[in-house]
């Protein structure tokens, strides 16, 4: 597994630059600022917009939209590990990677509840029931304050109407005013309206989930994904022109990239009864980075079994070693991260994925996947548009 770079050209370094530009004091004692975009440069702009296009990798842009990259200055950033929405969006909201915020995947053990949950909808994996409706408040579980609470600027979050009032959005959006949008067209209009409405300094965080959704449903290299990107960039170029003279910095980036998967490289855990028998909990994490909780007396056997039977499609690591090697981030780890990454971590090779299921849960057939360490998943763009 390659080393993760949290010293420069990482999502975390971009967020360090932003939080240092907006807050009352420097916070860069853990993670350094992005050298190509330091806080001092950001502070010179009255309006800063961070637009996150979920799932849009640099490799995809390089393949299908080289003209866009050639026409604008850009930087290649590395996503956080695991390279997945729940981890990366929390890092963007808090400017910390999983080492500190301890959200580790789409499915995650919450030892506080003795339950495997899905953190973004804040629901049980078993039946999808909302934890909030059952009296569990997300703010009691996830304790890293969002950057909006540290900002001297008026802050706004623009998100889909279907997502803006979720438990996750409310907790991670504390300190900002939230605005729901029907689609990216309306989001672009709202960004222009907010920037031109009054003169106070503003920070806008805008998130569009559609490209990621299309990638899961179709090939990431599908015409559906390409067409949606054409729509996005058409509106972005128009927005850039409309913001001329407003002293605005529009930062276009992503949370992670994606990789296509084929049925022949989809590994079903139930096809390996000995593997399943040694587990003490359902698989957690993502389809490409999997956290395994193993019965204590069978851990050595499990390690050797995976090395022997699964060597063609994954690597196995003791999860504790990944924390010590700073794969999840540098500095002091969150008190619960070890509870949330299991005994062993499986990193899938090439474009393999590993799936399991629990009672009453339909196994999803995702075509585009993420969470792994391929260049397609880790490399994301940063395109600064100056207006």
**Mean per-residue pLDDT for 248-273?**
95
Structural domain contains residue 343:
yes
Q: Are residues 187 and 313 in the same domain?
A: no
What pLDDT, in 10s, does the model give residues 187-226? Answer: 999 999 999 988 789 999 999 999 999 999 998 999 999 9
* CA pair distance 61, 91, nearest whole angstrom: 23
- 253 by DSSP, 3-state: which? strand
Q: Is the pLDDT of residue 30 over 90?
A: no
Q: Is the pLDDT of residue 245 over 90?
A: yes
Contact call for residues 151 and 162 (beta carbons, < 8 A): no
Q: Are residues 109 and 204 in the same domain?
A: yes
Question: What does DSSP assign to residue 296?
Answer: G
pLDDT interval class at 117 (50, 70, 90): confident
* CA pair distance 178, 161, nearest whole angstrom: 10
Structural domain contains residue 327:
yes
User: What pLDDT is recorded for position 252?
Assistant: 97
Q: Are residues 127 and 69 in the same domain?
A: yes
Number of domain units in the chain: 2
Q: Are residues 275 and 145 in the same domain?
A: no
Our CA angle for 214, 109, 142, nearest 5°, is 80
Q: Are residues 282 and 252 in the same domain?
A: no
Q: Are residues 209 and 252 in the same domain?
A: yes
* CA pair distance 9, 23, nearest whole angstrom: 21
What pLDDT, in 10s, does the model give residues 162-187? Answer: 999 888 888 898 999 999 999 999 99
User: What pLDDT is recorded for position 360?
Assistant: 62
Contact call for residues 81 and 374 (beta carbons, < 8 A): no
Q: Report the percentage of the chain scoring pLDDT > 70.
A: 96
What pLDDT, in 10s, does the model give residues 298-330? Answer: 999 999 999 999 999 999 999 999 999 999 999
Structural domain contains residue 3:
no
CATH number at residue 285: 3.30.1360.180
Q: Is the pLDDT of residue 373 over 70?
A: yes
pLDDT interval class at 362 (50, 70, 90): low
Q: Are residues 175 and 291 in the same domain?
A: no
**Mean per-residue pLDDT for 99-116?**
92
Structural domain contains residue 100:
yes
Q: Is the pLDDT of residue 26 over 60?
A: no
Q: Are residues 165 and 20 in the same domain?
A: yes
Structural domain contains residue 1:
no
Sign for the CA dihedral angle at 181, 185, 188, 190 comes to negative
CATH number at residue 120: 3.40.720.10
What is the domain extent for residue 327? 263-369
The structure tokens 């991260």 sit at 337
Q: Are residues 230 and 292 in the same domain?
A: no
Q: Are residues 250 and 159 in the same domain?
A: yes
Q: Are residues 360 and 281 in the same domain?
A: yes
Structural domain contains residue 6:
no
Structural domain contains residue 209:
yes
* CA pair distance 27, 338, nearest whole angstrom: 25
Structural domain contains residue 304:
yes
Q: Are residues 202 and 236 in the same domain?
A: yes
């Amino acid at each position: 597994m390659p080393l993760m770079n949290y010293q420069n050209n990482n999502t975390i370094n971009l967020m360090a630059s932003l939080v240092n530009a907006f807050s009352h004091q420097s916070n860069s004692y853990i993670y350094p600022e992005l050298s190509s975009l330091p806080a001092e440069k950001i502070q010179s702009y009255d309006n800063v917009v961070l637009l996150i296009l979920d799932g849009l990798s640099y490799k995809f842009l390089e393949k299908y939209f080289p003209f866009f990259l050639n026409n604008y200055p850009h930087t290649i950033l590395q996503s956080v590990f695991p390279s997945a929405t729940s981890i990366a969006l929390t890092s963007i909201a808090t400017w910390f990677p999983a080492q500190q915020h301890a959200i580790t995947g789409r499915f995650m053990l919450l030892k506080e509840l003795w339950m495997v949950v899905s953190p973004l909808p804040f629901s049980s994996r078993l039946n999808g029931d909302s934890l909030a409706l059952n009296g569990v408040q997300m703010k009691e579980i996830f304790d890293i304050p969002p950057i909006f609470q540290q900002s001297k600027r008026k802050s706004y979050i623009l998100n889909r109407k279907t997502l803006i009032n979720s438990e996750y959005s409310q907790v991670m959006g504390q300190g900002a005013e939230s605005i729901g949008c029907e689609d990216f067209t309306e989001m672009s209009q709202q960004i222009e309206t907010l920037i031109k409405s009054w003169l106070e300094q503003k920070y806008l965080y805008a998130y569009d989930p559609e490209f990621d959704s299309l990638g899961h449903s179709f090939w990431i290299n599908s015409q559906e994904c390409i067409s949606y990107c054409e729509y996005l960039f058409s509106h972005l170029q128009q927005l850039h022109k409309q913001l001329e003279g407003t002293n605005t910095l529009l930062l276009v980036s992503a949370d992670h990239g994606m990789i296509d998967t084929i049925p022949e490289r989809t590994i079903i855990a139930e096809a390996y009864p000995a593997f399943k028998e040694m587990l003490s909990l359902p698989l957690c994490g993502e389809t490409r980075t999997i956290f395994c909780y193993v019965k204590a007396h069978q851990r050595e056997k499990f390690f050797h079994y995976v090395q022997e039977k699964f060597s063609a499609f994954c690597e196995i690591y003791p999860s504790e070693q990944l924390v010590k090697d700073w794969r999840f981030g540098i500095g002091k780890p969150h008190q619960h991260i070890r509870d949330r990454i299991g005994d062993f971590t499986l990193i899938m090779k090439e474009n393999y994925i590993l799936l399991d299921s629990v009672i009453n849960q339909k196994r999803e057939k995702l075509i585009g996947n993420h969470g792994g360490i391929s260049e397609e998943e880790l490399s994301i763009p940063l395109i600064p548009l100056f207006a």
